[in-house]
Amino acid sequence: MSNILKNDREVVIPGECLAEGMDYLPGDNTYREGEKIYSKILGLVGVAGRVMKITPLSGPYLPKTGDKIIAQVFDITMSGWRFKTNTAYSAMMNVKDASSRFIKRDEDLSKILAIGDYAVVTITKVTSQNLIDLTMKEPGLHQVSGGRLVKINSQKVPRIIGKQGSMISLIKDKTGCNITVGQNGIVWIKGDSDKELLAEKAVKMIEARSHEEGLTGKMEKFLSGGASQ
Amino acid sequence: MTYTERVDGRKFDELRPMEAKAGVIPNADGSALVKAGKTTAYAAVYGPRELFPRFKQNPKTGIVRCHYGMMPFSGSGERIRPGNSRRSQEIAMVMEKSLNAMIDLSAFPNAVVDIYVDLPQTDAGTRCAAISAASIALADAGIPMKDMISSVAVGEVDGTVVADLSYDEEAYDAIVSDIPVAMTHNTKEITLLQMDGEISKENLMKALEMAKVGTETVYELQMKALKEKFSRSD
């Protein structure tokens, strides 16, 4: 006899039993002990067919290949730049991944990206030891200039973007700002200064109320009201 | 057996009135508050983050680092010298070992999770309150853990086995033993067991059974604190 002990989208804490019996399989952030499946992290239960998984509600960002993040240069080496990634690990970007133009051997790398600069970059490789390689060569990747950076919990990033980008395009439409969301929880907002402030407020609000339903509608109301002030 | 009624009138297996709350320190990645009678513990968790000094890094897994501190005014009048002491070092170490048993930081090699516990008010049972609070804070911070750790002290006062001793009981003028215990919820494995004083073998077994029930009460409270934080809707 196998049965699920928790409902879909229920909040569970580490060590709570999710299901009994061998008919279910442990997915992300769960583990099996004997016949039972337990949660390994605080989060929401997800049942996908026979697989039980947990979507974390808080926690650190785990770097993944292909993620677009916003990172800060903190060191320049012979062969490239080292970035802070808002995780426990720093990332490396090689000279050849910085620009599509040819960078000469004796060029001053700090003219391209100086220490303290932020850039929108993509993760090209993550090793088992969490060494991270970055690139800035793909379209849409560039140095961050002007605007403001907002730090949020990286687990809330999908909420900021919304289904098929519905939430983020709503904020962009209503405020006229350019917004780039890094998967590591750093959001770059650039536009008119009062609109920037409104967009920042909106992002913070989504972060604080991310577990609520119908948030896109609420945000639309908030942004329409705020924008007309 | 002359200890027939407890100093504060509790039943022998009754814990002090407890309170727990998650997410009390906005700057921290995870935090918690646990009150047990007149003992108050605040726990804050930061990380996983880069570990320095580098020679302490472990390439196979992340590590846990604990800090335990009683605030200068937290006792009953006598000023407690702030900073590291032999006692606080010991407690930080046993906390680390107790919590480490269930934390899984294999996804974070070379990193560290820092746990800071400070107590603005103390009245016995501080390491238990500290561990219970740290466990909530770790879960709040989204650190992968196999199970929650709940902790409570048990002991014997003048021949009677009691749970969750207060300072008056620890200082009772007779043979007293104080046994802080930390346990996991599912398997009831013991991750902390220390003792001060003396106790007979039979009473020790009785006390550990009492700890099983006591930690379960603490667990319910921890669960409530975490669920309250994450399921509140407007």
What is the secondary structure of A99-165 as a DSSP string?
-SSPPPTT--GGGTS-TT-EEEEEEEEE-TT--EEEE--STT-EE--SSEEEE--GGGHHHHH-GGG
Residue A93 pLDDT: 97
Å between B47 CA and nearest CA of chain A:
7
Question: Would the pLDDT of B227 be above 90?
Answer: yes
> How far is A144 from A123, CA to CA, in rounded Å?
17
pLDDT tens digits for range A175-213: 999 999 999 999 999 999 999 999 999 999 999 888 777
Of A45-54, A90-99, B42-51, B224-233, the poorest mean pLDDT is in B224-233
Which tops the pLDDT comparison, B37 or A214?
A: B37
pLDDT band at A228 (very low <50, low <70, confident <90, very high): very low
Residue B232 pLDDT: 59
Fold entry, domain B18-231: Ribosomal Protein S5; domain 2 (3.30.230)
Task: Put residue A214 in one of left, alpha, beta given phi > 0 → left and psi -120 to 50 → alpha.
Answer: left
Which member of B47, B139, B146 has the closest CB to residue A88? B47
pLDDT tens digits for range A22-76: 999 999 999 999 999 999 999 999 998 899 999 999 999 999 999 999 999 999 9
A228 touches chain B (CB under 8 A): no
Phi, psi (degrees; rounded to nearest 5) at B35? -115, 135
pLDDT tens digits for range B178-221: 999 999 999 999 999 999 999 999 999 999 999 999 999 999 99
Contact A15 B186 (CB under 8 A): yes
pLDDT band at A8 (very low <50, low <70, confident <90, very high): confident
Distance of CA B163 to the CA centre of its chain: 14
Average pLDDT, chain A: 92
Residue A1 pLDDT: 65
Question: Would the pLDDT of B164 be above 50?
Answer: yes
Which member of B108, B144, B234 has the closest CB to residue A41? B144
Residue A227 pLDDT: 47
Contact A31 B48 (CB under 8 A): no
The CATH architecture annotation of domain A3-56 reads Beta Barrel (2.40)
The CATH architecture annotation of domain A148-223 reads 2-Layer Sandwich (3.30)
Contact B59 A129 (CB under 8 A): yes
What is the secondary structure of B22-78 as a DSSP string?
E---TTSSEEEEEEETTEEEEEEEEEEEE-SSGGG--TTS-EEEEEEEE-TT-SSSS
Q: How many CB pairs under 8 A join A and B?
A: 95
Residues with Cβ within 8 Å of residue A55, at least 6 apart in sequence:
A28, A29, A43, A44, A46
Residue A37 pLDDT: 95
Å between B48 CA and nearest CA of chain A:
6
pLDDT band at B234 (very low <50, low <70, confident <90, very high): very low
Please give the average per-residue pLDDT across B39-45, as a whole number: 98
pLDDT tens digits for range A95-137: 999 998 999 988 999 999 999 999 999 999 999 999 999 999 9
Chain B residues whose CB is inside 8 A of the A62 CB are: 107
Q: What percent of chain A has pLDDT over 70?
A: 98
Contact B65, B54 (CB under 8 A): no
Contact B146 A29 (CB under 8 A): no
B-interface mutation test, from A37, A39, A42, most B Cβ less than 10 A away: A42
A40 touches chain B (CB under 8 A): yes
Please give the average per-residue pLDDT across A2-21, as a whole number: 91
Which member of A14, A29, A212 has the closest CB to residue B234? A212
pTM of the model: 0.93
B146 touches chain A (CB under 8 A): yes
> How far is B24 from A134, CA to CA, in rounded Å?
36
CB atoms within 10 A of CB A141: 17
Average pLDDT, chain B: 94
Which member of A11, A43, A88 has the closest CB to residue B50? A88
Please give the average per-residue pLDDT across A148-156, as a whole number: 93
Q: What percent of chain A has pLDDT over 90?
A: 80
CATH classification of A68-143, choosing from 2.40.160.40, 2.40.50.140, 3.40.50.620, 1.20.1510.10?
Answer: 2.40.50.140
Chain A residues whose CB is inside 8 A of the B233 CB are: 211-213
Please give the average per-residue pLDDT across A215-223, as a whole number: 88
Domain limits of chain A?
3-56, 68-143, 148-223
- A97-118: b (≥16 Cβ within 10 Å) or e: bbeeeeeeeeeebeebbeeebb
pLDDT band at A78 (very low <50, low <70, confident <90, very high): very high
Please give the average per-residue pLDDT across B13-23, as a whole number: 96
* Fold equal for A3-56 and A68-143: yes
Q: How many residues does chain A have?
A: 229
Which member of A13, A58, A87 has the closest CB to residue B223? A13
pLDDT band at A156 (very low <50, low <70, confident <90, very high): very high
Q: Find where tokens 């709350």 sit.
A: B21
pLDDT band at A229 (very low <50, low <70, confident <90, very high): very low
pLDDT band at B1 (very low <50, low <70, confident <90, very high): low
Residues with Cβ within 8 Å of residue A161, at least 6 apart in sequence:
A167, A168, A181
CA torsion sign for A58, A63, A65, A67 is positive
